[in-house]
Amino acid sequence: MLAGILLNAYIPPKIFPWFNLLSLGFPVLVIAYIALTFFWIFSWKKRAFVFMFVGLFFLNPVKRWINYSSDSKETANLKIVTFNIKGGKLGLDEIQKYINSKNADIVFVQEYGSELNLKNLKGEYSVPVIYFYSKYKVVRRKNLFENLPEANNTAQCEEIDIEIRGKVYRVFNVHLESFGFVKSMVKLNGNGDEDEKKVKDLVKRLIPTFKAHQEQVQIIREHIENSPYPVIVAGDFNAVPNSYEYYETSKGLKDAFYEVGKGSGTTFHDYKYPLRIDYIFASESIKPVSYKVDHSVHLSDHFPVTATFKID
Band (251; pLDDT cuts 50, 70, 90): very high
pLDDT at 113: 79
Where along the chain do its domains lie? Answer: 2-66, 69-310
Contact 27, 1 (CB under 8 A): no
> Strands 156-164, 137-143: parallel, antiparallel or unpaired by DSSP?
antiparallel
pTM of the model: 0.93
Per residue in 197-233, pLDDT tens? 767 878 888 999 999 999 999 999 999 999 999 999 9
The arithmetic mean of pLDDT across residues 293-301, rounded, is 96
The arithmetic mean of pLDDT across residues 150-172, rounded, is 90
CATH topology of domain 69-310: Deoxyribonuclease I; Chain A (3.60.10)
CA distances from 228 to 144, 167, 174 (A): 17, 12, 19
Give the closest residue to 24 by CA, choosing from 255, 202, 191: 202
| Distance in angstroms (rounded) separating the CA atoms of residues 158 and 144 | 6
| Distance in angstroms (rounded) separating the CA atoms of residues 251 and 224 | 10
| Distance in angstroms (rounded) separating the CA atoms of residues 239 and 268 | 11
| Distance in angstroms (rounded) separating the CA atoms of residues 7 and 28 | 18
| Distance in angstroms (rounded) separating the CA atoms of residues 219 and 20 | 19
| Distance in angstroms (rounded) separating the CA atoms of residues 266 and 61 | 14
Per residue in 112-157, pLDDT tens? 877 788 989 998 777 888 999 999 999 999 999 988 865 567 899 9
The arithmetic mean of pLDDT across residues 300-312, rounded, is 96
Give 28's contacts (C-beta < 8 A, 6+ positions apart): none
pLDDT at 3: 92
| Distance in angstroms (rounded) separating the CA atoms of residues 145 and 212 | 12
Give the closest residue to 274 by CA, choosing from 18, 73, 91, 31: 31
